[in-house]
Amino acid sequence: MARQSTIETLHEHVVSLRRFALVLTRNRDDAEDLVQETLTRAIAAIDSYQSGTDLRAWLFRIMNNVHISAARKRQVRDAAGATLPDPVAEATQSLRVEVRQVLAALDELPDSQREAILLMALEDMKYKDAAEILNVPLGTFMSRIARGREALRRAMEGAKSVRLRIVGGCQ
Report the C-alpha dihedral over residues 107, 113, 116, 118, rounded to 10 degrees. Answer: -10
- Compute the least distance from the CB of residue 75 to another protein, in Å: 24
The CA distance from 46 to 35, in Å, is 16
**Is 16 near another protein (CB under 8 A)?**
yes
Whose Cβ is closer to another protein: residue 154's or residue 165's? 154
Which window, 15-23, 71-79, 162-170, contacts another protein (CB under 8 A)?
15-23
The CA distance from 35 to 15, in Å, is 9
Residues whose CB is less than 8 angstroms from the CB of residue 119 and which lie 6 or more positions away in sequence, other chains included = 20, 60, 125, 130, 133, 134
**Is 146 near another protein (CB under 8 A)?**
yes
**Is 152 near another protein (CB under 8 A)?**
yes
**Is 156 near another protein (CB under 8 A)?**
yes
Phi, psi of 33 (to 5 degrees): -60, -45
- Compute the least distance from the CB of residue 71 to another protein, in Å: 19
**Is 23 near another protein (CB under 8 A)?**
yes
**Is 71 near another protein (CB under 8 A)?**
no
**Quick one: 2 exposed, middle or buried, by C-beta within 10 A (0-12, 13-18, 19+)?**
exposed
List binders of another protein among 89-128 (CB under 8 A): 91-92, 95-96, 98-100, 102-103, 106, 117-118, 120-122, 124, 126-127
DSSP string, 71-127: HHHHHHHHTT------HHHHHHTTS-HHHHHHHHHHHHS-HHHHHHHHHHHH----H
Task: Write out the residues near another protein by the rule CB under 8 A.
Answer: 1-3, 6-7, 10-11, 14-16, 18-19, 22-23, 32, 35-36, 39-40, 42-43, 46-47, 49, 51-52, 55, 87-88, 91-92, 95-96, 98-100, 102-103, 106, 117-118, 120-122, 124, 126-127, 142-143, 145-146, 149-150, 152-153, 156
